[in-house]
């Protein structure tokens, strides 16, 4: 009887670990995709030589 409780506890822990691993993996994928999107949207603004305040852009 004690063996059955130990087995079910180990199985429950194993399935929990699997769910956590899966959730962490998905979270990492989502964060990497967000970082790629931010990097892609930041590139055009860095290439653009225009300034929000054009008065200071002409002085330099």
| 19 pLDDT higher than 60 | yes
Quote the percentage of the chain above a pLDDT of 70. Answer: 67
**Rounded to two decimals, what is the model's pTM?**
0.52
Q: Residue 17 domain-assigned?
A: yes
Report the chain's mean pLDDT, rounded to a whole number. 80
pLDDT of residue 20 exceeding 90, the answer is: yes
Residue 20 lies in a domain: yes
- Greatest Cα-to-Cα distance within the chain, rounded to the nearest angstrom: 84
Q: Does residue 14 lie in a domain region?
A: yes
**DSSP alpha helix (H) spans, 1-60:** 2-47, 54-59
Residue 2 to residue 16: CA distance in whole angstroms? 21
Q: In this structure, is residue 12 part of a structural domain?
A: yes
- Using alpha carbons, select from 19, 9, 22 the residue that is nearest to residue 1: 9
Q: Which domain holds residue 4?
A: 1-25
- The mean pLDDT of 35-60, rounded to a whole number, is 68
Tally of structural domains, the chain: 1
- Torsion from C-alpha of 32, 38, 40, 42, nearest 10 degrees: -150
Residue 3 lies in a domain: yes
């Amino acid at each position: 009887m004690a063996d059955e409780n130990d087995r079910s506890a180990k199985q429950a822990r194993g399935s929990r670990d699997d769910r956590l691993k899966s959730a962490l993996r998905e979270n990492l994928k989502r964060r990497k995709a967000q970082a790629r999107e931010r990097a892609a949207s930041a590139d055009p603004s860095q290439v653009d030589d225009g300034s929000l305040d054009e008065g200071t852009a002409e002085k330099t």
